Amino acid sequence: MMKKDKQIKIFGFHPLMFLFFVVVCALHLFAVKEWGIKKLYHPLLTPLFIIFVLGYGLNFIGDSVPYLNKIGLGFLLCIFVTSYLVYKGWIPQDLADKCNENFFSTKTPNNHLGSDFANFFITCVIAGSILSVDRNLLKRSLSKFLPLTLIVCLVAILSVGFVGFLFNYQKPEGFSTQGSFLDSIFYVAVPLTNGGTNLGINGFANGIYKDAFPQLDQKTIRTAIIVPLIMARCLSILFAGLMYVIFDKTKFSGKGKLEYKNNKLTPKPTEKKTPLEYKNIGMGLTMIFVLFSLSGLLNKLLWGYLESLVYFILFLILIRVFNLLSQENQSHISQAGQVISKNFTIPILAGLGMTVKWQQLMGGIKQIPVLTMVLTALLVVVLVSFVLAKAFGFYPFETSLTAGLGALSVGGTGHLGIMSISKRDNLLPFIMIATRIIGPIIYILAYFLFNFFYMS
């Protein structure tokens, strides 16, 4: 008796039905281009529709290509193809700008508030992932994991400076110079490691870099220092895919476990699982919103030096380690985060692609010294964390993904891409903790050192 071929589905839909969605999306984009955006744009529904159709369509194509699907082609297509479609005008530029301003940004150029849906997504995913991790593993690991990540990060920064010195790196136009070594550190390595777009890039572009280079506006400074981070964000997913292919079935892999032989050290406690119900999801989201609001208030009381997300993560770690919420409530938050993660990860990557300027990306790739420094940073964080992992009691492959790539501030979407393509979603809390805790430390160090070397 012959087996029936497995039916092809795209995000659960029959291909013909999904093709209908694509046609409607194409007609919508054409109508916006021909008749303008005013009557054809909703600040929430339109971006969601476009990124869902493009994201799941492109991811399906990438996942269907043999061999390349193992290194994350689907994720990479979501980013690069959508960016290219905007560049060619097939996605109208004003529509892409509106999506970026109202959907992916906190503030628009007119100083109006945007919804920043990407931040909502990351907040829910962080909450769900941290409160689902084994609390004993979390307690044991943090005391070793964070120092390891800091060591990896500092070695990467110095390595980038050395490579920049060898290439005689030339500073961006309008920036002051203290030699290619320091310029490489402060204009390439620091933007890669100091907390991401909101804290690191915007913080420096609006703050100390703006004070140091008063003749330049904030947008010019931001454009100059964000290019290495954009490149690292895209390449880190590719690196994770390559490492998965090479190391997943070797002795260097913990098969999803971070801590070396943790199953022999401490048996995993059996926690009662709460049934998945609609109300539980709503309860979980409510608690996430409350914690985020408290984090924002605390950040404001402490003069707003860091991101609210830093305090949000600290709250979650305290809740998990000390069981400050009942296991039932923690389970509700975890379920809410999983629902958001499983449905929105691919679309958010497509949305990220719409916000990445193709010209900037290609311009960065054509700058051989900058591209080489970004590749150096990626190689160094992976190699150093891989080599040091066993000394800290961790598996090398999992450590290179979390403490390694997490040493670079590639952002929540980058983290999700890295962990999804490497089939290590359960370790998402660690890579996010690495960036959100170590990033602000680098930010503070870089702030004082830049002031000393460039402004004293």
Q: For 10, list phi and psi in degrees, rounded to 5.
A: -115, 105
- pLDDT value at 398 more than 80: yes
Using only C-alpha atoms, what is the Rg of the chain?
22
Is 109 strand, coil or helix? coil
- pLDDT value at 114 more than 80: no
pLDDT for the residue numbered 1: 39
Report how far residue 279's alpha carbon sits from residue 124's, in angstroms, rounded to the nearest whole number: 16
Report how far residue 311's alpha carbon sits from residue 292's, in angstroms, rounded to the nearest whole number: 9
Report how far residue 350's alpha carbon sits from residue 360's, in angstroms, rounded to the nearest whole number: 17
Average pLDDT over residues 189-217: 88
Q: Which residues pair with 107 in a beta bridge?
A: 113
Indicate the helix (H) or strand (E) that contains 383: helix 368-388
57-to-63, 71, 455 alpha-carbon distances in Å: 10, 18, 50
Cβ atoms within 10 A of the Cβ of 61, count? 16
In our burial notation (b when 16+ CB lie closer than 10 A, e otherwise), range 292-307 reads beebbebbeeeeeebb
- pLDDT value at 136 more than 60: yes
Q: How many residues does the chain have?
A: 456
Percent of the chain with pLDDT over 90: 60
Average pLDDT over residues 122-145: 88
Cβ atoms within 10 A of the Cβ of 343, count? 13
- Does residue 185 contact residue 164 with C-beta atoms inside 8 Å? yes
User: In the block, which residue shows the tokens 């529509």?
Assistant: 95
Report how far residue 442's alpha carbon sits from residue 151's, in angstroms, rounded to the nearest whole number: 11
Question: Of the candidates 298, 339, 334, which has an alpha carbon nearest to the alpha carbon of residue 316?
Answer: 334
Average pLDDT over residues 89-111: 80
Of the candidate ranges 12-16, 38-42, 267-271, 279-283, the one whose mean pLDDT is the lowest: 267-271
Burial of 143 (0-12, 13-18, 19+ CB in 10 A): exposed
- Does residue 70 contact residue 244 with C-beta atoms inside 8 Å? yes
Of the candidate ranges 87-96, 155-164, 346-355, the one whose mean pLDDT is the lowest: 346-355
Dmax (CA) of the chain: 81
- Does residue 268 contact residue 433 with C-beta atoms inside 8 Å? no
Cβ atoms within 10 A of the Cβ of 394, count? 27
- Does residue 59 contact residue 75 with C-beta atoms inside 8 Å? yes
Is 13 strand, coil or helix? strand
pLDDT for the residue numbered 352: 82
- pLDDT value at 264 more than 70: no
Question: Of the candidates 352, 221, 336, which has an alpha carbon nearest to the alpha carbon of residue 279?
Answer: 336
Average pLDDT over residues 250-258: 94
| Domain extent listing, the chain | 15-115, 125-274+289-344+351-454
Cβ atoms within 10 A of the Cβ of 33, count? 17
Q: For 248, list phi and psi in degrees, rounded to 5.
A: -60, -40
Q: Which residues pair with 13 in a beta bridge?
A: 10
Report how far residue 314's alpha carbon sits from residue 320's, in angstroms, rounded to the nearest whole number: 10
pLDDT for the residue numbered 273: 64
Average pLDDT over residues 378-385: 98
Burial of 445 (0-12, 13-18, 19+ CB in 10 A): middle
What confidence tens digit (pLDDT) does each residue in 40-57 have? 898 889 999 999 999 999
- pLDDT value at 5 more than 70: no
Cβ-based neighbours of 234, under 8 Å, separated by 6 or more: 76, 79, 80, 356, 361
- Does residue 59 contact residue 77 with C-beta atoms inside 8 Å? yes
Cβ-based neighbours of 191, under 8 Å, separated by 6 or more: 200, 201, 204, 225, 226, 228, 229
Report how far residue 429's alpha carbon sits from residue 129's, in angstroms, rounded to the nearest whole number: 5
* DSSP state letters, 250-306: STT--TT--BTTHHHHSPPP--PPPP--HHHHHHHHHHHHHHHHHHHHHHHHTTT-S
